[in-house]
Structure 1
Amino acid sequence: MKDGFIRVAAGTPKIRVADCDYNAGQVVALAKQADEQNVRLLCLPELVLSAYTCCDLFLQDTLLRGALDALRRVLRETRELETVLVLGLPLQAAGKLYNCAAVCHRGELLGLVPKRFLPNYGEFYEARLFTPSSGENKSYSLDGRQVPFGPRLLFCCEEMEDFCFGVEICEDLWSCAPPSVGHCAAGALMICNLSASDETVGKADYRRALVGGQSARLCCGYLYADAGEGESTTDLVFAGHNLIAENGAVLAESERFTTGLVISEVDVSRLAYERRRLTTFPARQDEGYLRIPFSLPLHETTLTRPVSPFPFIPQDPAALHANCEDILRLQSAGLCQRLLHTGAKCAVLGLSGGLDSALALLVAVRAADWMGVPRAFVRAVTMPCFGTSARTLQNAHALCESLGVPLREIPITQAVRRHFADIGQDEERRDVTYENAQARERTQVLMDLANQQGGLVIGTGDLSELALGWATYNGDHMSMYAVNASVPKTLVRHLVAHEAARIGGRAGEVLRDILDTPVSPELLPGGGEGIVQRTEELVGPYELHDFFLYYAIRWGFAPQKVLRLACRAFKEKYPRETILRWLKEFYRRFFAQQFKRSCLPDAPKVGSVTLSPRGDWRMPSDASARLWLSQLENM
């Protein structure tokens, strides 16, 4: 439960219709299995103690007493379990029959939640038997104890404020005004749905979309437990389709026509962060709600949910292809609008023969095609200096030739040396001045050419470089429109690969060679083919920094949680000490380099993370990193 992770499960036991004692035994067995696997919240199907398909037997006193006795047995036999158990049963109260969810913990009945919406169409006839919830909380007397009974109950862990859940039952979710809306507005971060949804062709897809969509709409975790084997098949078939979703993503799903548990971990602290961030999510509205406490010791939850090392990259090839195409269209559409608005006569960009400038060129070419102008509208400039390798220079020429873009080569070595003489810089002193003078000279050339030709300078720097401050202030840091500014380095590679496959031919070959070239600023002399500066040896692996950026900035995770997730995601590639080292470097650089991000040029937003000072990220340039780094110092 530490770091906000709650291990949860949705389960389907094999039951018998109307055999309540047998069903209680199956429920207890599943609860014990869940507890052994450190599940802290287990949701079971609707009317699981009796079976959903009892029809008019629900009116029989014998069945109702049997269901209550089964509940007592479950309470007795789960007294030693830490798992909070949510299960369904028929219950008579005030002379009426209710379809209820019982919430149990350590042998205590915490509360009873009656179903609000009763389906009475198609194959469903619940209104013939049951009474819908009145909408008000009352109490129910069981064995001399008053138990909360009503639709507005929230169950809250005393040791962890964000572990708070509400309950709805089957059709409640399918209605136009689900009770879960009120539960989440009142503070629930998880919803348990006890269901008996029969199986028909195509229904599983609809059910999955409904559960995932509701978890996204309410920014919550959603546990959906479905009736299955043992229900009567007189007219219907139940498949036990269990789902666990979090904020729109299905974390785990059972195979249909199986029994047992489906388990995952819901990150309630992530959900709480997202609700704080979303100004349209209402402040807590819990009037009429009763918060029922329960106690659980805090343990570290072993994670089974997948943690991708590449959070910006879809794992599905079809989704990755679609994302790449969308991003390239967004970049080129943004550039088109800027060029048309300013009446620019050309787009000017520096081409190094590396990844970022290749992507910027591809975007500019798309923009020219989109506007219906010749590709000569794009004016590429390569500016070799001390560290330029033959490989990157050749690739710059070959790429422009294959794309039909004019390339101008302007060596800047002598201009930089004259500048060194002006300021008294020793050329043998390979310091930051030596490196940055080259970057600023290149920017000056581009800016002046753009003025000369009535064009705009297109920026090439990416999101990862902005996060780390890996840019020369008023050098490559500056442009007139920065098309790559919200694209992380790990995604840049896939975008270039996407275009290489789409374009093919000689351009595709050159792009593939650029993809194989080590990332380097090429500011130190290497000689010939050699590249002596490798960026990732200096600032750390970009795949790690992109991971840190996603979880530390997009989700606001604490450093210790970012480290934990990174160690899981990269366990086969990097030792913990390496990840910790670069995580410290990430926080140090991110805080120290905010001043560069505070004056960025305009750029199109293409994903959920951007560092534009006019949009998603506003931060004082002199904020201290001490709190964040102190979490990592003793780890």
Structure 2
Amino acid sequence: KRYFAAGSDALVFAHEGVNIGVLICADGWEAAPAMLAKAAGAELLIAINASPFHMEKQSTRLDILRERVAETQLPIIYANMVGGQDELVFDGGSFVLNSDGTLTHQLAAFEPALAMVEFKHAQPIPAEITPHLSLEASVYNALKLGLHDYVRKNHFPGVLLGLSGGVDSALTLAIAVDALGAENVHAVMMPSEFTADISVDDAREMANMLGVKYSEIAIKPMYETYITALAPQFGNLPFDATEENLQARIRGMLLMALSNKFGSIVVTTGNKSEMAVGYCTLYGDMAGGFALLKDVPKTLVYKLCRYRNSLSKTILQRIITRPPSAELRPNQLDQDSLPPYEILDGIIEAYVEDDKSRVDIIEMGFQPTDVSRVVKLIDRNEYKRRQSPVGVRISHKGFGKDRRYPITVKLDFGK
């Protein structure tokens, strides 16, 4: 519902002898509305906002509002909403700038906050300033708030997730417990013949340490039943991604069955790096209702794990240090199929978030073969991303509403 209509005149009202100009959201991002308010007699500006979070957004807000202060020589109260709405998280973090651009008040981010702002001669009297959050802290809190509000506002009783013993599911579990409480989280380990013992041990220990409900369902009997049923069709064709994806789809089916029976929403654990290049299985590990790490690249996943452990030991160190693997075939590692994540994530950021071309990315120092391969994978896998669940956006351009790319394109992906 819209509460405001566009107008051509400045909105200025008097309160206790002070003329106050009102800016609504995007009014503050350009000079004209604030200047019109000053011309209409405003001595103080209030900017009310529904400004969604992305990394470093708060610094951008401060820089832009300081420009308005410099142009008008007026103090500004910036009030921002807080809460999750589908993929968007509104992070709050309201603040006040005096007429020389000095920050006099800074409220907490990612939680409702209230402050009394006192003025003397239309200038704010300095008060306590909440410390600035690190990038990792702000992203972690955005993910936590986004998950909490999506689950609670849509009236789900809790969440289900597949726990693999890997770093992505470990981080997802930690955020879910922080957001919803251990009593509302059910972790399910679904080992196969390719699952290492250490993965099962780590999954159990993580679940026990965090106090969540934990279940184990071996998928080998179901997998063998499918293979037997398909054998007449497959004939002597060799083991390939078909059998790998079959395991992921069995796991997805089990989680969705538990979701149907008990009402909890399935939270998927795939990250942005995997989503970008299609290193994920439709109707398998992509099956669920909320993709928490959908906009979090793998390199940032590791940083978030270390950040969470800096608060209290939550994620096992060997989960963080083990080489990542989907464990869908013997001795499998992610790096068998993908470039190193440091390289992969750099190319994804340049191509997806910054709209750079292949030539631009190569000029940044990446190898031409890596760039061509990754760009090709990103373009080819739009059809998968279009079928993925909604998830928290933390970058300035996430997959989904921010990046609308056609599935059907007459391109030669080999070039």
Contact persistence 1:347–1:379 (CA under 8 A): yes
- The amino acid of 2:297's aligned partner reads P
SS in 1 for 2:395: coil
Q: Measure, in 1, the Cα distance between the counterparts of 2:236 and 2:322.
A: 27
Pick from 543, 560, 564: which aligns with 2:342? 543
The answer to whether the 8 Å contact 2:189/2:203 transfers is yes
Tell me which residue corresponds to 2:356. 557
**Structure 2 residue identity aligned to 1:519:** P
**What is the TM-score normalised by the length of structure 1?**
0.44
1:460 and 2:272 correspond:
no
Which residue of the partner structure matches residue 324 of structure 2?
Answer: 519
Q: Using the alignment, how far apart are the partners of 1:623 and 1:601 within structure 2?
A: 23
SS in 2 for 1:566: coil
How many angstroms does 1:625 deviate by?
5.0
Tell me which of 392, 400, 406 is aligned to 1:604. 392
* 2:210 counterpart (399, 403, 406): 403
Specify the SS of the correspondent of 1:380.
strand
Deviation at 1:342, TM superposition (A): 3.0
Residue equivalent to 2:255? 446
Amino acid at match of 2:189: T
What letter matches 1:592 in structure 2? R
**Match runs of 1:297-446 below 5 Å:** 322-369=134-181, 375-424=182-231, 425=234, 429-446=238-255
Residues 162 and 187, structure 2, Cα contact 8 Å, conserved in 1? yes
Cα-to-partner distance string for 1:182-207 (whole Å, 9 max, x where unaligned): xxxxxxxxxxxxxxxxxxxxxxxxxx
Q: TM-score, normalised by structure 2?
A: 0.66
Large movers: runs of 4+ above 3 Å: 212-218, 425-429
C-alpha separation in 1, matches of 2:289 and 2:167: 20
Q: Give 1:409 deviation, angstroms.
A: 0.7
**Which of 291, 298, 310 pairs up with 1:482?**
291
Q: CA 1:624–1:521 in 2, change beyond 3 Å: closer, same or farther? A: farther
Three-state SS of the structure 1 residue aligned to 2:226 is helix
Deviation at 1:427, TM superposition (A): 9.8
Task: Tell me the CA shift for residue 356 of structure 1.
Answer: 0.9
Is the CA contact 2:252–2:285 (under 8 Å) kept in the aligned structure 1? yes
The question of whether the paired residues in 2 share the 8 Å contact of 1:587 and 1:629 is answered with no
Q: Which residue of 1 aligns with 2:114?
A: none
**For 1:267-282, what aligned pairs fall within 5 Å after superposition?**
none
Letter of the 1:436 counterpart: N
1:447-468 deviation digits (Å, cap 9, x = unpaired): 0011111211011111111110
Contact 2:158/2:180 (<8 A) preserved: no
* Contact 1:487–1:606, Cα closer than 8 Å, also in 2: yes
Quick one: which amino acid aligns to residue 185 of structure 2? V
Q: CA deviation at 1:484?
A: 0.6
> Which one has more relative contact order, counting CA pairs under 8 Å at least 6 apart?
2
Count of residue correspondences: 295
| Letter in structure 1 aligned against 2:390 | D
Deviation at 1:341, TM superposition (A): 2.7
How far did residue 629 of structure 1 move? 6.7
**Aligned partners of 2:144, 2:235: CA distance in 1, in Å?**
42
- Tell me: CA distance 1:217–1:536, structure 2 relative to 1, closer, same or farther (3 Å): farther
Query: Relative to structure 1, is the Cα distance of residues 345 and 393 closer, same or farther in structure 2, using a 3 angstrom cutoff?
Result: same
* d(CA) in 2 for partners of 1:379, 1:619: 35
**CA separation in 2, counterparts of 1:433 and 1:216?**
56
Confirm or deny: 8 A CA contact 2:351 2:375 kept in the other structure.
no
Amino acid of the residue matched to residue 153 of structure 2?
H
Distance 2:184 2:211 in 1: 10
Structure-to-structure mapping, 1:275-294, within 5 angstroms:
none
Structure 1 residue 353, shift from structure 2 partner: 0.7
Larger Rg over CA atoms: 1
Alpha-carbon deviations, 1:467-520, whole Å to 9, x = none? 10111111112211111101111101100111122112xx35x1x111111111
Between the two proteins, what is the percent identity of the paired residues? 26
Distance 2:138 2:241 in 1: 38
Distance change >3 Å, CA 213–CA 345, structure 1 → 2:
closer
Instruction: Verify the 8 A CA contact 1:484 1:603 in the aligned structure 2.
Output: yes
**Corresponding residue of 2:402:** 616
1:28-177 alignment to 2 at 5 Å?
A: none
Q: Note the C-alpha offset of 1:386.
A: 2.3
Shift of 1:217: 7.2
Change (3 A) 1:336 1:427: farther
Gap regions ≥5 residues in structure 2: 1-30, 36-58, 69-130
- 1:624 CA displacement: 4.7
The 3-state SS of whatever aligns with 2:150 is helix
Distance 1:363 1:428, change over 3 A: farther
Instruction: Output the CA distance in 1 between the equivalents of 2:283 and 2:66.
Output: 41
Structure 1: state its 5+ residue gaps: 1-172, 178-208, 219-317, 370-374, 526-531, 568-578, 631-635
SS of the counterpart of 2:160? strand
Q: Indicate conservation of the 8 Å contact 1:591/1:625, yes or no.
A: no
Give the alignment's Cα RMSD to 1 decimal: 2.7
Question: What SS class does the counterpart of residue 329 from structure 2 fall into?
Answer: coil
Whether the 8 Å CA contact 2:256–2:287 is kept in 1: the answer is: no
Contact 1:420 1:426 in 2 (8 A): no
Alignment partner, residue 55 of structure 2: none
> For residues 608 and 545 of structure 1, do their structure 2 counterparts lie closer, same or farther at Cα, with a shift above 3 Å needed?
same
AA aligned opposite 2:354: W
CA gap 1:426/1:357 in 2 versus in 1, 3 angstroms:
farther
